[in-house]
Structure 1
Amino acid sequence: MKLADTTDGVPMADRSPTPKEIERFRLLLSVFRDGSGMESGFGSTLPGWRDFEDAVDAFFGVSTPIDKDIFDVAVPYDRQGKEVMFGVSCKMKKDLDRAYKSHEPGNVDNYGRVFMELANPAEALRNEFLKRGFTLDNYHDHLDKAGEAAIDLIRGWHNDASIENGGNFALDKSCYLSLLWGEHDGEMAYRLYGFEFNLPDPTSLDWISPSDYDLIKGCEDDGGVVFSIHPTSGGQIKYYPNVEEADWMSDEFTLAPIDEEIHTELEAKAEAYFDEHWTYTFKQ
């Protein structure tokens, strides 16, 4: 979806980010070229998953505790005069090329989708299997139930955090934010994708698995994999929404160059590094 150039409401919660807001985020992310980034390449450091979360924190002007809830970033939100929270679940993967390729029915490479690792709830998944009458030793005999158990486990955590169930988060305002990256034309390129915080119904999928491998796949009719689960390998649960289902996506961008290192807070760094360009992103 094309980014909406509007100032109504809160970005990501109420509307798509504007081009200026995307530029502000790009500048925040670019700070991690100064030697502080988790990744390396092209003669500098590059942002990693923790840096991505820090950049989203700084974008919203918040500081989410390390021992966070189900969301990586928690943002105060005024709902009819009452302060609640909306959450941003940040996912990052060096997988941009895969998202660009078209999916063809039966193609096992799962092109045209965005990778997100949801959780690694090994013990909780084992207990959920037991509650439903099977175990890690025989889940291959109960694939539909096993797939549904894994996704229902995640959805249950989401529901517990919702304001409707006594939690702090407005789930209808919350989102998944995926940052995909990859090398394009000799530079590292990035693209943001925003998805609603609502997982597909697991009962609508076809659950399959090779009987000799630790893997369950929830597939759509065309063979596209929506979920993959590794019950005995840390309980990994991965989600692959279709690119076309994104609420919004940015244009592809590269990081801004940095001339010198400045050691201070992230937002202050962005302002110091980029000066007038940074100020411009706040103008209406």
Structure 2
Amino acid sequence: MPGFRDFERAAAAVTYGYAREDKGIFDVWVPTHDGLPYGISCKMAALQPAKNESSFMELSNSAAKFHAALADRGIEWRLDPKAAGITLVDTVMSWHEAVAGEVDLAGSRYAILDHDKDWRVFSLKVFPLDLRTADPARHVRWEAVGKRLDGYIYERGGEHRLWQWFADSGGQLKYYPPLSWGEWSSQSFTLEEAQPVSLRSRAIEYFGHLWPRSLPEASNQPEVD
């Protein structure tokens, strides 16, 4: 199954960009001919149940940064969930704004690679970088529930959980944008099965004539993808 680095490198290859492979805001930077590069923030997530009509991405698990932002504004999230929710969204948006001089934010996007539970069926979705499609101050109902903070919007005739923050278990901030907010979506697809090869064959491929052909294949050598 593909890992997150595989997704980032594939996204870089098809957009003629380059994968940063660091902890920066954008995983892939795509150069342009007449201005700043645009960025792609790559996310991988389990496919959401069809009835939810939403996608999913974990935006951050930086508990320290979120708690610091709340402390700076003097907010106790359990007592004032609305102010806390606004602060969490503002914090993530501030990370984008901090690189505005290096990246074309208007042209940048989230790319989500959804997968089924068996990691066999995938789909690719693109969402806006702006996390205020639903204004967190006016259009989101925030609620403190146990050790987490939930944010709900009115969607399709009922409430939809758009935000979820786990304050004491890694600090994950989760975002469930409705599919209708997406800008593009692929059809479902599967990946080609890689043919396994022996370590000796792979070594010959890498090293060419430098690898001694007389070296026999070990009987217990594992196959590799």
- What is the identity, as a one-letter code, of the residue corresponding to 2:46? K
Tell me if structure 1 keeps the 8 A contact 2:27–2:40. yes
Of Structure 1 and Structure 2, the greater strand share is in: 2
- Partner-residue secondary structure (3-state), 2:164: strand
State the alpha-carbon separation in 2 of the partners of residues 119 and 179 from structure 1.
17
Normalising by structure 2, report the TM-score: 0.79
Q: Could you give the per-residue CA deviations for residues 148-182 of structure 1, whole angstroms, max 9, x where no partner exists?
A: 111100011111111xxxx2111111111011111
Q: Could you tell me which residue of structure 2 aligns to residue 214 of structure 1?
A: 147
For residues 161 and 114 of structure 1, the distance between their equivalents in structure 2, rounded to whole angstroms, comes to 26
> Can you list the C-alpha shifts for 1:179-208, whole angstroms capped at 9, x where unaligned?
111168xx8111111111110221120001
Cα shift at 1:144: 0.4
Displacement of 1:260 in angstroms is 5.1
Q: Distance in 1 between matches of 2:141 and 2:92?
A: 19
Change (3 A) 1:236 1:195: same
Structure whose CA Rg is larger: 2
Q: In structure 2, what is the Cα distance between the partners aligned to 1:58 and 1:171? A: 21
Q: What is the correspondence of 1:35-74 to structure 2 with a 5 Å cutoff?
A: 46-74=1-29
Q: Does 1:174 align with 2:108?
A: yes
Q: 2:176 aligns with which of 219, 231, 240?
A: 240
- Name the CA distance, whole Å, in 2 between partners of 1:196 and 1:248: 10
What residue ranges of structure 2 are gaps of 5+ in the alignment?
Answer: 207-225
Q: Tell me the residue number matched to 1:31.
A: none
Residue matched to 1:156: 94
Output aligned runs, 1:122-133, within 5 Å: 122-133=63-74
Is the CA contact (8 Å cut-off) linking 2:81 and 2:142 kept in structure 1? yes
Letter in 1 for 2:39: G
C-alpha deviation, 1:243, in angstroms: 0.9
8 Å contact from structure 1 (residues 86, 174) kept in 2: yes
Bigger Cα displacement from structure 2, 169-178 vs 66-75: 66-75
Shift of 1:59: 1.9
Partners of 2:72 and 2:193 in 1: CA distance:
54
Q: Which has the higher helix share?
A: 1
The alignment partner of 2:59 has SS state of strand
Q: TM-score, normalised on structure 1?
A: 0.64
Distance 1:225 1:50 in 2: 29
Q: Distance in 1 between matches of 2:91 and 2:117?
A: 36
CA RMSD of aligned residues (A): 2.1
The runs of 5 or more residues in structure 1 that have no matched partner are 1-45, 103-110, 266-284
